[in-house]
Amino acid sequence: SHPPLCPPGIKCGGVLSAPSGNFCSPNFPGPYPYETECTWLIVVAEGSSVLLSFSHFELEYHATCAYDYLQVYNGASRDPGNLLGTFCGHSPPPTFSSAWHVMAVVFRSDRHVAKRGFTAAYRKGSGEGWRWSICPSVLPHHPHHLPNDAECRWSIGGAGSGGPITLVFADFHVEGGQGCGFDYVALFDGLTTAAPRLGRYCGSTRPPRTISTSPHLLVLFKSDFNIGGRGFKAHFYSAGECQEVFTNIKGNFSSPRYPNFYPNNLNCQWSIQLPPGYRVKVFFLDMELEGRSSLTGSCDYDHLSAFDGSTENRSLLGRWCGRENLAPVTSRSNQLLLVLHTDRNTAKRGFSISYVGVVPMNVSCTRTDFHIQIPVRSLARLERNRVYLGTPSCVAQVVGGNFKIHTRFDTCGTESQKRNNTSVLISTLYIDFSVGDQEDIHQYEVQCEPKRKEASVTLIVGPDPSRLSQAENLVDAEQQERGATDAHEIKSQDTSDIIFISICILAGLLMVIAVVGLVLL
């Protein structure tokens, strides 16, 4: 049979404001053009809904519809949170009814392979909200009706997640009734209804956040012959995606579903807890969240916060949103908490973060020596031969609860370099955390400017170097204060330098006097 023809003068997109009508892809029933994007905005009377159906559908197929595709949005905004579905191939989309009086349809083609396209018809509905003609194959991410006299099941987890599942209802309106005997949503802690029941809900109150004890969670929706309410919207994530504690010296993590859009209504926490003495340095490799409020200029919507400790009542190190290139953030203690909050609207790509535990150390120098001191408690699991300067022969000594390295510039691989037209002496401090076959050696560049007797230390190998582009300068006011405890050791060396210089000056003066005396004679 021949597909129905569209009206003459087919347009690529536009506003459709009649109570009913139809539209189709450009050139239909011929192949649609390459590299085309069309957006139709369907607007009917306020208080009504848009009923949308497809009578012919033939687009280039791809497993994720990455080439040619058609998208349907619940409303005018192309916000991912309003996306009802993305479709391609030969299977037509289901029949939709919008939750508002506006619906958007987007068609896009790439530069390869053109098919015949689609035809669609719309009309004004009663405004009861949108529905699918069958149970969706995945848990609904938008509030919607489900069919009358139906039983729908969604099994969550099991695809390598391994941990408990957290389920969050962003919207909920299911026909009530005493004991939820008509329509209801039930949750089970496992794969089947034989598993322990976690809850049974109906009415208009959102169910509480639910966390399974197993890596599986079953969502069951049951309706009677006379369904009421607009349905529900929910999302889920595994514990490892959204609630995690890190104790390794270095690591990385990202927002749920990164680099895809994160879910709405999240409150995720990542706690980094390192041995005493360490500080936590966080590097923001990528970040894109919902932007600042146009009214307040603040991060009032989706935002990422860092706290100097293990709870949200500790000092706030920063709060960010939008798309920014952020400088690294360093804690003042051995713990740091990151919290991601998202609201019910607008999702973005999220973030990717790397962190490293900064070994607390004091580095100083004279005109002839390096002095390095690291608290043993910070490296409690390491033997002293795992801490060395330049070469393994220049190992640390354990003195009074500290690893100490005191070495002259002419040893331990120290070399002279010119930096910013200044002569400096450079060596490398190695701290070997390797276990078995897993090599893990942190390297710090130790630098001294002898004339000014100023030292600095920079982390050059810690997190994966390919992902970390910013060097780590560890000398700050806090370390300098900590270094005051060793001032008497450095002072004795400085005193010897002063005496040596004084003797040289006196000898020079005596030589000048002697020469002058000989000339006069």
**C-alpha to C-alpha distance for 153 and 143, rounded to whole angstroms:** 16
Contact partners, residue 485, CB within 8 Å, separation at least 6: none
- List pLDDT tens digits, range 368-424: 999 999 988 777 678 899 999 999 999 999 998 899 999 999 999 899 999 888 899
- List pLDDT tens digits, range 272-283: 998 877 889 999
Poorest-pLDDT segment among 47-56, 230-239, 388-397, 432-441: 230-239
Enter the pTM of the model: 0.47
pLDDT at 503 over 70: no
**Alpha-carbon dihedral angle through residues 396, 398, 402, 405, given to the nearest 10 degrees:** -30
CB neighbourhood size of 231 (10 A): 24
Confidence of residue 1 (pLDDT cuts 50, 70, 90): very low
The answer to whether 330 and 274 have CB atoms below 8 angstroms apart is: no
- List pLDDT tens digits, range 446-502: 999 998 999 988 777 654 433 333 333 333 333 444 444 344 443 434 444 555 556
- List pLDDT tens digits, range 153-203: 877 775 444 567 878 776 788 877 777 887 889 999 988 889 999 999 988
E strand residue ranges, 60-101: 69-73, 83-87, 96-97
DSSP sequence for 425-472: EEEEEEEE--BTTB--EEEEEEEEETTTTEEEEEEEESS-TTT--S-E
- Find the helix or strand (DSSP H, E) in which 301 lies: none
Residue 160 pLDDT? 47
Among 264, 284, 175, 279, CA closest to 227: 175
- The pLDDT mean for the chain works out to 79
pLDDT at 43 over 60: yes
**C-alpha to C-alpha distance for 309 and 313, rounded to whole angstroms:** 9
DSSP state of 63: T
Contact partners, residue 318, CB within 8 Å, separation at least 6: 305, 306, 326, 329
Q: What is the mean pLDDT of residues 126-153?
A: 54
- List pLDDT tens digits, range 308-325: 998 888 999 999 999 988
Domains of the chain: 14-125 (2.60.120.290), 151-238 (2.60.120.290), 243-358 (2.60.120.290), 362-469 (2.60.40)
Residue 85 pLDDT? 79
Residue 80 pLDDT? 62
**C-alpha to C-alpha distance for 506 and 514, rounded to whole angstroms:** 12
Confidence of residue 366 (pLDDT cuts 50, 70, 90): very high
